[in-house]
Amino acid sequence: MGWAGPLCTRQLADLGAEVVKVEACQYPDWWRGVDPRPAFFAERQYEKDLRFGVLNRNKAGITLDLSRPEGAALLKRLVREADAVVENYAREVLPKLGLDYPALAAERPDLVMVSMPAFGGSGPWRDARAYGSTLEHASGLPSVSGQADWPPTTNQLAYGDPIGGLNAAAAVLTALLHRRETGEGQHIDLAQVECMFPLVAPWILAQSATGSPGPRRGNRHASMVPQGCFPCTGEGWIAISVADDAAWAGLCRAIGRADLDADPALATAGGRRAREAELDAAIAAWTAGRDADAAMAALQAAGVAAGAVRWPTGLVRDPQLVARGFWQPVERAWLGQHDQPSAPFREAGQGPFPVRRPAPLLGEDNAAVLGAARAPGQGAGGAGRRRHHRHGGGAGLAEEVPRRRAMTAPGRKQE
């Protein structure tokens, strides 16, 4: 998984942690691409993926071949100065390399380490591998998404990766606080699929309490009637949710349907549920001739929950995000100037945490980071060599080692 681990450590890097990203030339971060054709390397296409740039900003980057003794030894030297290690491998990889938690804790006994295999480090599925989208299916979410007559419906957003990464960041911070109080390190076993279960909690609870998860409703809601997403002019859409009977009256006024408001059969949610298709058609007829933002303003003024649906491509110009300085222009070699999204948290009354540096080029910080770690007289055999780029092509993220925030944070950490 090339998203979960890097997002975890990017959260920490945004907060000021010193993070060292460890890749291998043979198996670089998969967001760099896995194209084996010569032009891919000649044109440095592996440095031009914006997704890699967003997930790995504020980090240093080195290359190590962990399958070689020299590379493993260099990693261990780095761990001695690290607060934590975050690794995004399948469960069996680091033990095979002799770099599992006992081996690394021998270098630093109070080390915090997060391992985040798809299904955790124990149980019959411990060695199964997965992607964010397959984790979505394992969580049960597709079985409750979509319309009642649809097959299980994947959202195609690979939820498992970012949700796992955010949970891992919280776990690292909690473990570091625990160590500050007790002096104890720990190995955290994070199952990415289990991070998904809060998304399906309502259906799990319903099954437990009633013996049935209830019907699939698509865009509709169990108690807010009507609710849905309706077309507007151009390519616009608007989401509308009638939360109670007072909002229903407001909706009728806003769309000019006093006849619906006067109908006693529609005065309650149960009555409206029986005629939901008719009401959806009435709302769609009104929204179809209106701009999404204008319709949103009219409905909100009438006390109806409504929001224009935003296209991701339009968010760069969104006035709310612009006013908060959410987009930060960053210059990076081979990628040029581009806008980076800020961290979604900040100190109240302050601007966003800055993007201090762009994502590292492959092996960019080898000299600075590995120079201090290499033993006197030791060659560079463990560091990845650029002539190996031609053979790169797996989706293997090594570790990231977040290290201490300058002057204030308590130590170092690795990804």
Question: Which range (110-119, 130-139, 375-384, 404-413) has the least confidence?
Answer: 404-413
Residue of 411 and 131 predicted with greater confidence:
131
Q: pLDDT class for 400, splitting at 50, 70, 90? A: low
pLDDT score of 231 more than 60: yes
- 1: confidence class by pLDDT, cuts 50, 70, 90: very low
Task: Quote the pLDDT of residue 157.
Answer: 84
Bridge partners for 240 per DSSP? 228, 306
Share of the chain above pLDDT 90, in %: 82
Is the pLDDT at 75 greater than 80? The verdict is yes
Spatial distance between the Cα atoms of 400 and 389, rounded to a whole number of angstroms? 20
User: Is residue 144 within 8 Å of 222, Cβ to Cβ?
Assistant: no
234: left (phi over 0), alpha (psi -120 to 50) or beta: left
pLDDT score at 392: 30
> With bands split at pLDDT 50, 70 and 90, how would you rate the model's confidence at 396?
very low
Six-digit token string for 105: 């804790």
Q: Poorest-confidence range of 1-10, 60-69, 137-146, 330-339?
A: 1-10
Q: Among the listed ranges 47-61, 127-141, 322-336, 366-380, which one has the minimum average pLDDT value?
A: 366-380
Q: What value, to the nearest 5°, has the Cα angle with vertex 384 and ends 382 and 387?
A: 130
In which band, very low, low, confident or very high, does the pLDDT at 398 lie, cut at 50, 70 and 90?
very low
The catalytic position among 29, 161, 244, 259 is 161
* pLDDT recorded at residue 409: 29
pLDDT of residue 393: 28
Quote the pLDDT of residue 59.
98
Residue 401: the pLDDT is: 54
Give the pLDDT score at 116.
Answer: 95
pLDDT of 147 higher than 60: yes
161 noted as active-site residue:
yes
Instruction: Name the average pLDDT for the chain.
Output: 89
Q: How many whole angstroms separate alpha carbon 80 and alpha carbon 105?
A: 9
Categorize the per-residue pLDDT at 2 as very low, low, confident or very high, splitting at 50, 70 and 90: confident
Share of residues in the chain with pLDDT > 70 (%)? 89
What band does 254 get if pLDDT is binned at 50, 70 and 90?
very high
Partners of residue 189 on adjacent β-strands: 115
HSE-CB at 157 with a 13 A cutoff on CA atoms is: 8
Cβ-Cβ contacts under 8 Å for 195 (sequence gap 6 or more): 160, 163, 164, 167
pLDDT score at 133:
85
Q: Measuring CA to CA, which residue among 190, 210, 203 is closest to residue 141?
A: 203
Taking only the tens place, the pLDDT of each residue in 152-173 is: 998 888 889 999 999 999 999 9
Q: What is the pLDDT of residue 405?
A: 34
Residue 36's pLDDT is 84
CA–CA distance, 110 with 410 (Å, rounded to integer): 12
User: Under DSSP, is residue 365 helix (H, G, I), strand (E, B) or coil?
Assistant: coil
Mean pLDDT confidence for 310-321? 93
* pLDDT of 390 strictly over 80: no
From the centroid of its chain, how far is CA 91? 21
pLDDT at 144 over 90: yes
Say which range, 203-212, 245-254, 374-383, has the weakest mean pLDDT. 374-383
Read off the pLDDT band of 373 (50, 70, 90). low
- For 173-198, write each residue's pLDDT tens digit: 999 999 999 999 999 999 999 999 99
The Cα-based distances of 127 to 121, 196, 213, 353 in angstroms read 8, 19, 30, 38
Q: In the prediction, which pLDDT does 33 show?
A: 86
CB contact at 8 A, 185 and 179: yes
pLDDT in tens, 89-142: 999 999 999 999 999 999 999 999 999 999 999 999 999 999 888 899 999 999
Res. 381: pLDDT tops 60: no
Residue labelled with tokens 């984790």? 135
Q: Of 29, 87, 65, 131, give the one whose Cα is nearest residue 361.
A: 29
- pLDDT tens-place string over residues 26-51: 888 989 988 889 999 899 999 999 99
* Helices H / strands E in the chain, number of each: 18, 12
- Contact call for residues 303 and 247 (beta carbons, < 8 A): yes
